[in-house]
Structure 1
Amino acid sequence: GALNLDRELILYGSKKQTPVSLKSLLETGKGDLLKGFEGKQRESTTASELVLFQVACFLHRELPVRVAHRVEHLQSAPFLLNSPSIQLVCARYKNTFARLRSTPAPHTPENRELFTNLLVEIYDEHSATLIHIAKGLKEIQAAMEHDRDQFADKHEIQKIFDDFFISRIGIRMLVSQYLKLCQPEVPNMIGLVNLKTSVFEIAKTAIEDATYMCRRAHGDAPDVVVVGRTDLTFPYVPSHLNYMLLELLKNSMRATVETHGIDDMPPIKIVIADGEDNEDVVIKVSDEGGGIKRSNMSRIWSYLYTTADPETLEAILNSVPPLQVGGTAASVPADIAHHNLDEFPSRAEHANANPSQSTSVGTPAQQKNPLRDFAVTASPLAGLGYGLPIARNYARYFGGELTIVSMEGYGTDGYIYLPRLGKSDASV
């Protein structure tokens, strides 16, 4: 009953999450951490099957703990209870927790298949969570009777939603890493991680996508020049890097067009910096788009500060059906797909899985990815208003950082710092 569910949620919410570094994700995906596990699965014969059992058993234990933490988080602040949309998101997490707890441990092939199917369902059901959280933020704002500017500066709300989104990335990363491991192997890929992620190839994809969006919105787009270590490859999750670069490029292109008009646009510059002894891979996106006022700098990280047209924002928020708890997942309309890509394969993900093909910006097979096409053809240039804070969460998720330095009246530099994940023990 409900009482037992609440007790279980409290019990699991009090357990500590198990930290997982990308290094250990890679080692598990390669089968390096199987020692001691073989004896438990006599029916399995291959190392890859053992890896899947090992990861599935870990997720069966770990996901209820992480989901319980999410529920606890969303019930922690009184003002969150003023929002029907956030209460519904919370109810969906409770429903997910109950289903995870009632599914048998995946120790047999049949049970692993049951568990895998449940994970696919859960992943899809939660794909529109960002939109419902955005609705919730508007409801909280109305309930607090503050204007948008005052609300945008509230630090408590900022921290709660930063923590929420980083944790959400973590849950979805673990689930999608497992689901990817269940699929046929791709060269250089271990689940979602590309061992030879090329910043240059992903930059080319992001430039192409941002240019398409900018041209559709404004009629033209500034050129983008890429300099520095264009030959650099390192282990990373390409879809995360693609999201970060695309967000910075969209902002830079819009600022450049709005500052200079389309007849005389200075180029945007991407610099890829990396020395052999560097702690991080560092990428800079530099524009001459007029910069940001110093008084507005803190607000660019706020979940409600947006330069989007209010009507566009309303259209996005109203384009998702009301959230049904425990029912079938609502499909994600094309015009918001970009905001829900999460760890779905993007065209960038396999852009250099085969280095011999890495000179082209996208092979025909890559270009047919329907999720990627949704993202490009129908994403507003400035949509929900929290692209930057979410991009920063993606950077921080593996122990990196994303910062913005602005010179008002001239332009803005965005810096992405990414630890070399093969060497990093940053936890997820």
Structure 2
Amino acid sequence: MALKKAAESSSKGLAEEVQRWGSMKQNGVSLRYMMEFGARPTERNLLLSAQFLHRELPIRIARRAVELESLPFGLSEKPAVLKVRDWYVDSFRDIRSFPEIKDSNDELAFTKTIMMVKVRHNNVVPAMALGVQQLKRDMKINHKVVSELDEIHRFLDRFYMSRIGIRMLIGQHVGLHDPDPQPGCIGLINTRLSPMHVARAASDDARSICFREYGSAPEVEIYGDPNFTFPYVQSHLHLMVFELVKNSLRAVQERFMDTDKDVPPIRIIVADGIEDVTIKISDEGGGIRRSGLPKIFTYLYSTAEDPLDENFEVVSEGTVMAGYGYGLPICRMYARYFGGDLQIISMEGYGTDAYLHLSRLGDSQEPLP
């Protein structure tokens, strides 16, 4: 009995601490600051970085844990969402119970702790998507009602943007420990990233999935200056281009699958502007109806069959062709995280153009939800 009381009192204390930290002010950083700070990964700088994360990460994690408790339409009670909330609370507790970081030994131990936090959260996106699918099934949501669930969309925008930030901060700190970094790389940031190179690699990955799904895949043609580079996070750019090319491949493949016509290629154009690097991905996959365009950035809409099931632990981001209903909205979050954006322009009956704008100035602060 005493043990049970102690456990209840301990979990009440933890819940109160999560609430308290969830109301504290977050501190954003810019891509430029991360680059300049990380360019000199001295012992002192790594110590300062760890001390910053020791205070900042619990605030960001607590905010999300608090929000996960009070979602509308009973979303908080869905088993997948409860699991995500537990991950956030566990991570909050792990970081808060870590003692003050005073020297490089403390810093190395803390780095291991936050690496474990990052791994724990690997499946947050498919888990949340499953929670939303469970909600859709329970509410028998049709596409008309979907647009009315604004509160859930706004929460998911905040939630995913925050997740990108948390993973970026952890990944950047861990990356500064790399004993043999790639030339030009500072943590996760490649200061000489070739968007042409990333576009080719992401397209090849998307085409291999298309081959697996349909037995064939349209060609992808890429235009731009092969020598052009700019500072950006390679994994973010790969994810965005992969998702957009994957959508285009599916649209073209399904439109031309049962015809004798030549299958048109997907075209990618990389443009180097003064403010933005813009990547345009064009397809002739038949486009999207104008009435469907407002839905493409919502998390409760997908034109494909739902591939998710209770076994989301084995689902990794980007392994299926379509169906999560969150590819485009999450792409846009990644673009906006460093001051860019994503626009989709469609001609029904012909095809779709996706414009991925990436801010090349690197000065914009993280958008902190």
Deviation string 1:32-84 (CA, Å, 9 cap, x unpaired) is: xxxxxxxxxxxxxxx62222111111100101111111112222434333323
Residue 100 (structure 1) aligns with: 95
Aligned counterpart for 2:133 among listed residues 125, 134, 138: 138
Q: 1:343 aligns to what? A: none
Secondary structure, counterpart of 2:221 in structure 1: strand
Distance 1:163 1:57 in 2: 25
Match of 2:326 in 1: 386
TM-score under structure 1 length normalisation:
0.79
Partners of 1:420 and 1:28 in 2: how far apart?
18
Distance in 1, matches of 2:305 and 2:280, equals 28
* Structure 1 position 306 matched with structure 2 position 302: yes
Percent of paired sites with the same residue: 43
Separation in structure 1 between the aligned mates of residue 37 and residue 156 of structure 2, nearest angstrom: 30
Query: Are the equivalent residues in 1 in contact too, given 2:196–2:224 (CA < 8 A)?
Result: no
Query: 1: CA distance between counterparts of 2:138 and 2:309?
Result: 18
Q: Could you say which residue in structure 1 is the equivalent of 2:16?
A: 7
Q: Could you report, residue by residue, the CA deviation over 1:221-249 in whole angstroms, capped at 9, with x for unpaired residues?
A: 22222123333210000111111111111
* Correspondence for 2:335: 395
**Hey, what's the Cα distance between the residues in 2 that align with 1:319 and 1:7?**
32
Aligned match for 1:171, one of 149, 166, 177: 166
SS at match of 1:297: helix
Q: For residue 291 of structure 1, what is the aligned residue in structure 2?
A: 287
2:310 alignment partner in structure 1: 318
After superposition, where does 1:212-231 map in structure 2 within 5 Å?
A: 212-231=208-227
Q: Secondary structure at the match of 2:42?
A: helix
SS of 1:19 mapped into structure 2 = coil
Q: Distance between the aligned counterparts of 1:144 and 1:382, measured in 2? A: 22
Q: Is the 8 A contact 2:193 2:231 kept in 1?
A: yes
Tell me the residue number matched to 2:265: 267
Give the equivalent residue in structure 2 for 1:195: 191
Distance 2:174 2:100 in 1: 17
Change over 3 Å in CA distance of 1:197–1:256 after alignment to 2: same
- Structure 1 position 148, deviation (Å): 5.2
Q: Which residue of 1 aligns with 2:7?
A: none
Which of 332, 357, 366 does residue 417 from structure 1 map onto? Answer: 357
Deviation at 1:123, TM superposition (A): 1.0
Following superposition, the deviation at residue 153 of structure 1 comes to 5.0
CA distance in 2, matches of 1:207, 1:153: 35
Give the structure 2 partner of residue 83 of structure 1: 78
User: Which amino acid is 2:326 matched to?
Assistant: Y
- Within the alignment, does 1:20 sit opposite 2:29 as a pair? yes
Cα displacement (A) at 1:208: 1.0
Structure ranking higher on relative contact order (CA contacts 8 Å, 6+ apart): 1
Q: Look up the equivalent residue of 1:66 and give its one-letter code.
A: R
State the match for 1:345 in structure 2. Answer: none
Runs of 5+ consecutive residues of structure 1 not aligned to the other structure: 32-46, 321-331, 340-378
1:56 to 22, 36, 50: 50
Distance in 2 between residues matched to 1:205 and 1:77, nearest whole Å: 38
Structure 1 contact 273–281 (Cα < 8 Å) conserved: yes
1:129 aligns with 2:121: no
Structure 2 spans left out of the alignment, 5+ residues: 1-9
TM-score between both structures, scaled by the size of structure 2 = 0.91
Stretches (4+) displaced over 6 A: none
